[in-house]
Structure 1
């Protein structure tokens, strides 16, 4: 059976999509993958690259049109797309009599409310329109994939659903796990670097402490806001211990994270984030990093099982600094939290949830 997986937004090596591709290949599916041009190393998947469009409107129009042409050429039994801007493509494929699955990574109407590139006065209106459009589109799809059960609250009952959290490949992460013995305490944030990620608050908290302690802060990931990029550059002038590592291949990024002592997972409030199942949480746990996290109920459900995290007000640099200082000063606490993190991580593996995707496909 042939499956065609499509994204115009994510890089070809996107971690969630890559894990799903591996699962499908292992199950014996013939997989065609349509994504932006870029590095893609899975030789068991047929990769059909499309043009990279940096302009959102061009990507929406030209990228979707190019992806649709290739999708028809693939002549697959099941089509599986990953971006809300491809909903139109999914509806076209349905009109051609195809089986279509929509993989919904986030609660997108809530995400729109935090997008700085959209004028603030327009965000509520656009969010409501996006909500209506997406809900009506989902009714036409044969199946959907979501990350957390809370995402289903927006949709009427739909039997063909797979709830697949962002659990990692723990075998790889365990192989990268190290135990540091350096005196310098290293903090790390890995992920999208945007103003809604409390980046400024984390940096400000770090700068409150760096003159008193031998510490370091590493930032990894794409910067989506030029003003924020300038802010980071300016703050780097205030210290020789704040490093922006850029966008790295996954294995290299994990290597940097594994060489740190504490993982930062602080993001501003917003429903999409408060119900999220962030990959970095499970990566930090599997690598044995104590975590400083936003005080979200959903995250407590995982991190309170065995104490491995300190929770903060994501809008307060002072609170973040206070929790950072606790971990800087208490090496024994860090060690205990490390052991707890590793123990918890054993529950949250991609292997434990990947069959949910195959069950969905079998149901179609």
Structure 2
């Protein structure tokens, strides 16, 4: 039984973002391969890229008390809804006697960017008297998980991580490490990023935005399509989950982080990313990966690097899908939305559907990816993500060992 202390399992999940206002809606998007990208009216805007993820309409007052809703910003609303669903689906009931053993780890790529921009602009234009005191506290990156922790009486370990596009996966990995070190019995892992004009302008100035839609692994891909959303997972020490008779969705088999730090505007080459995935596979006991959730930003140099990873590290029967091609890339949450697709594959025993663009794919894509057959039983899935500066993250999960 001592070995169970080191086994970490997923017992709850939640989401709010492009593709679905909850897990069931997101899984339906994966089931149908629904294209959730829309064209944006750029008239009068400071940018020209016209594609974004189509965020669902949601009535927040159904999920968040009015007293809280009045004092929180957009990114916090995302966190509150997805985290609420994850806690509910886990069946974990927070009581005063265990609240100090339940933590919250949060990952975000851009944080409350819209709030920061609004407060800063008002301060510049109107001076200090123009700053809304109710919203100023929301300018810090850890405001969102703070609101969530207080609302749900969670008093355990807490931390906020911002590491670009790998923020969500890095938060997930950090939570696993804390649980292995017995710093908590359960941790809610949150990740959220919003879309706004400021972010769109910034990405366009870096020449990273798509001009022709989602085209992962194609020769004519021009860039990423931004979206917004939040994911949430409840992680537990396996012994704790078994004792409370929780429904275990998956077990964490392996994980790794790496960086080759080429420059601030670069994504690095494939070597550090390959090492990252290799280390995760080794930690898993060299398990066979049945499904891999690809980053596939439609940024040609990134897609080529990931294709090299797929060819050199993964089994030639691994099925690969690009989730950002369906729902766009929600900055630091892009990897955790991929992780949700892994949970879809494991719990539904299905591979997410994506569009076949019938395009001019980069060499080696079609034969390695599109023609692979889905195995009759999906037992192990992996996700990878990369970010500016050559930072990489990999996570492997699978069906629980009985």
User: What TM bracket, shorter-length normalisation?
Assistant: 0.3 to 0.5
TM-score (norm: length of structure 2): 0.30
Specify which structure has the higher proportion of helix: 1
Higher relative contact order (CA 8 A, sep 6+): 2
TM-score (norm: length of structure 1): 0.32
